[in-house]
Chain A
């Protein structure tokens, strides 16, 4: 936001409240993702259940933000930076909501997974997920600081995530081939991997929004893509 404050204080407060809600929602998503990953790596069903339960909270955030945005547009007719602020809030919140959903989906699948997974598979999963986690954190920081350079970094790093996802996919496919009786686990793991990758994509979306918010222009160029994914996205 600009350094000067609005002449109308309540308008300023409404914009700040919107901003805060996005950050709170983002933090909730970060938490959900973290817990989901802990759950899947440590086979901890308690964390998984918390994530499933907390998704409701995230959904509620989205509704609140949506209402706030509609109110702002209807009553304040925001212009320029305020307009971008409002519109990006709407889009970021829907991306965040998807991230929450995906974390919930991961947790649900965690509960169905076998107790013992091969270490190399878990390692591969951890590699992707920590990266995605880092991306999510950076993108939230970028939003907080209104930093287009940080957002660009996140956007560029998506390539790495795609590559790691592909590696992870290969591990899972290998696992599937080796343990044909464990078709269930394998499938779940495939989806989990894909979900993590989707979270990365949403994070990149958010980064694009932040760039637009700060610069008023769209990030030019194709989104960096890694090697073609082996399994196409499910959603």
Chain B
């Protein structure tokens, strides 16, 4: 758990500013994300943590008025460069959203969509394998193996979210971004997802935005605290939750916020 300096840096954000039209949403964010670790981003609503998360796979491109400045380096490559191909970037950086959003198609089609558009399987057999391993990694295989061709929207909320995780890992991304993945789930389903996150960090680097500080404390090794578009504090999770350096961090995690 302790930060020992051995962990490799997977993503490093340098002087990132984000604007929505004339309004600045993020101010000079400098953050390094360690490889094969879970990094939690916490902070009050509207603090920019989700905006920052969406910078990492350039989902902010979808919003016309959103402008991102600064450098975000992943694998020695600045993704904000003009030469960066968004489609290939998103293949490498998966995302799981707040509300489970499976496609209204069958479970099989949900998982096979990514590998299909990226041409990852040469045959039906290969595709079957990808679907099976993805579902197994998402700890969903046992529950759904007999109904792969039923619609994904028929699953429970927690299962749907695990389906979305399976869909995200089907293209073997290096990084998985999770935007409040448990906010719509009950505690049992939440615990299952948290267990899953712990498993996934062996092969993927995970960045999770969460409103639940307890969840951040439970699942992450590093935590960053955002407030009003600034990264106030960033460090190992146990340090942040036992003895944060900044008063704002302290006030937020102890529930003393205005």
Contact A80 B257 (CB under 8 A): no
> Distance in Å from the Cβ of B225 to the closest Cβ of chain A?
11
Q: Which of under 10, 10 to 19, 20 to 34, or 35 or more describes the interface residues of B?
A: 10 to 19
Identify which of A78, A215, A216, A217 contacts B254 (C-beta below 8 A): A78
With an 8 Å Cβ cutoff, the count of chain A residues facing the other chain is 18
Given contacts A216-B242, A216-B243, A217-B243, contact A80 B255 (CB under 8 A): no
Could you tell me the distance between the alpha carbons of A206 and B194 in the complex, rounded to whole angstroms?
Answer: 38
Contact B253 A80 (CB under 8 A): yes
B97 on the interface (CB 8 Å rule)? no
Contact A81 B250 (CB under 8 A): yes
Q: Is the interface of B mostly helix, strand, loop or mixed?
A: helix
A232 on the interface (CB 8 Å rule)? no
> Distance in Å from the Cβ of A91 to the closest Cβ of chain B?
15
Given contacts A77-B214, A79-B213, contact A5 B256 (CB under 8 A): yes
User: Which residues of chain B are near A8, meaning CB under 8 Å?
Assistant: 255
Specify which of B244, B247, B251 lies most central, judged by the most chain A CB atoms within 10 Å of its CB: B251
Contact A80 B214 (CB under 8 A): no
Count A-B contacts at CB 8 Å. 47
> Distance in Å from the Cβ of B4 to the closest Cβ of chain A?
18
Given contacts A6-B255, A7-B255, A8-B255, contact A80 B247 (CB under 8 A): no
Identify which of A5, A7, A80 contacts B243 (C-beta below 8 A): A80
A181 on the interface (CB 8 Å rule)? no
In the complex, residue of chain A having the shortest beta-carbon distance to the beta carbon of B253: A79
Given contacts A2-B251, A81-B250, contact A7 B244 (CB under 8 A): no
Contact A4 B242 (CB under 8 A): no
Contact A83 B242 (CB under 8 A): yes
User: Which residues of chain B are near A7, meaning CB under 8 Å?
Assistant: 255-258
B27 on the interface (CB 8 Å rule)? no
Contact B213 A4 (CB under 8 A): no
Contact B250 A11 (CB under 8 A): no
Could you tell me the distance between the alpha carbons of A7 and B252 in the complex, rounded to whole angstroms?
Answer: 10
Query: From residue 1 to 30 of chain A, which have CB atoms closer than 8 A to chain B?
Result: 2, 4-8, 11
Contact B243 A84 (CB under 8 A): yes
Contact A79 B256 (CB under 8 A): no
Which A residues fall within an 8 A CB radius of B? 2, 4-8, 11, 77-84, 215-217
Q: Apart from A5-B256, A7-B258, A81-B254, what 7 extra A-B contacts exist at CB < 8 Å? A: A8-B255, A77-B214, A78-B254, A80-B242, A80-B253, A84-B242, A215-B243
